[in-house]
């Protein structure tokens, strides 16, 4: 296969495999498993851009900030995303470098702290719905609502949560930098956690927003702008299914975007998990005419070269 541009969005299971393995060292061990498969693609001559999730890691930073609130300043959400982009990028860089050494090859990896422009009038800012941070009792939630300006909701009897907007990504601020690095042969880690949400003022200046951007939609935006040959979303299952967890469950090998839209309309994909991934894939495939793939970390390489994963075509 000739050299291809491959954008890969890895999910939380590529960094935290379960609730009992959340330390920095175990996160690195999980990242190393994913790096093994990505390094095989680089070794085959492909250009790779890697995006990643950061939900649990941002939650940990917010919890530390809450615990230390009497002695330290709070950390705004956009800074939390920036912090995790650096920390997770470091782990992925090291894991990939170690794999390259094992394979006897040389390749450069760079993490780009990535800002993603959103519309200040995005409807999600009027109705925040993305839960972040730890659970609170009602009194604490109301205190934050009054004093910190938080939007809070009661979460199915489990306690109160802060909720923030989840606007759609409009533009990648550092896209030109990513493009130059890819063309120079650098493996790029970008758009971590969906990117740092920013809005552009009338004078052209940028300002951060406390919001959460869907990682898969941001990665799809990068893939579209780079005209990637493949866009891969790595998740917890090897293949996308319809009638999931039912007696008539069916794994999907190859589907086109028309079929994907029909399955979405029929409600086969849950809103909090598979739906945004399929939406991102449909957007990418219809915009570029190229191939989208959804699979788990262990089948990333095989989804490109063999019949693993679910392939989405126009």
Active site residue 215: yes
Give catalytic status of residue 55 as yes or no.
no
Of the residues 12, 59, 159, 208, only one is catalytic, namely 12
Q: Which of 191, 277, 292, 311 is catalytic?
A: 277
Structure tokens at 21: 């393995």
d(CA 12, CA 4): 25
Whether 130 is catalytic is yes
Identify the active-site residue in 4, 13, 40, 108. 13
Residues 6+ apart with CB under 8 A from 259: none
DSSP classification of residue 229: S
Catalytically annotated residue among 53, 89, 130, 192: 130
Strands (E) across the chain are located at 5-10, 47-52, 109-111, 115-118, 130-136, 151-154, 160-164, 169-172, 187-189, 196-200, 206-208, 230-234, 241-242, 250-251, 254-256, 291-295, 310-313
Cα–Cα separations (whole angstroms), residue 105 to 4, 39, 79, 232, 313: 18, 10, 35, 24, 33
The catalytic residue among 47, 209, 215, 224 is: 215
Residues 6+ apart with CB under 8 A from 129: 163, 165, 166
Structure tokens of 1? 């296969």
**Residue 39: Cβ within 10 Å count:** 24
Instruction: Report the catalytic residues.
Output: 12-13, 130, 215, 277
């Amino acid at each position: 296969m000739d050299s291809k541009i491959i954008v890969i969005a890895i999910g939380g299971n590529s960094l935290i495999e379960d609730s009992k393995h959340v330390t920095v060292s175990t996160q690195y061990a999980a990242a190393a498993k994913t790096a093994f498969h990505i390094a095989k693609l680089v070794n085959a001559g492909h250009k790779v851009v890697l995006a990643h999730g950061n939900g649990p890691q941002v939650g940990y930073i917010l919890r530390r900030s809450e615990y230390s609130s009497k002695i330290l300043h709070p950390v705004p959400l956009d800074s939390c995303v920036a912090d995790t982009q650096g920390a997770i990028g470091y782990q992925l860089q090291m894991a990939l470098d170690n794999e390259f050494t094992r394979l006897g090859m040389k390749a450069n990896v760079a993490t780009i702290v990535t800002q993603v422009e959103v519309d200040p009038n995005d409807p999600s800012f009027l109705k925040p719905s993305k839960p972040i941070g730890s659970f609170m009792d009602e009194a604490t939630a109301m205190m934050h609502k009054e004093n910190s300006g938080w939007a809070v909701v009661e979460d199915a009897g489990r306690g109160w949560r802060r909720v923030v907007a989840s606007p759609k990504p409009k533009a990648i601020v550092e896209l030109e930098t990513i493009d130059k690095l890819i063309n120079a042969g650098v493996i790029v880690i970008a758009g971590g956690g969906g990117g740092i949400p920013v809005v552009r003022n009338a004078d052209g200046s940028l300002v951060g927003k406390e919001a959460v951007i869907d990682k898969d939609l941001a990665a799809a935006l990068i893939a579209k702008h780079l005209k990637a040959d493949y866009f891969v979303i790595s998740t917890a299952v090897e293949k996308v299914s319809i009638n999931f967890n039912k007696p008539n469950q069916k794994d999907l090998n190859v589907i086109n975007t028309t079929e994907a839209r029909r399955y979405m309309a029929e409600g086969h994909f849950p809103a909090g998990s598979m739906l945004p991934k399929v939406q991102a894939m449909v957007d990418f495939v219809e915009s570029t005419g190229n191939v989208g793939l959804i699979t788990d970390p262990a089948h990333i390489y095989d989804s490109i070269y063999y019949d693993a994963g679910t392939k989405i075509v126009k």
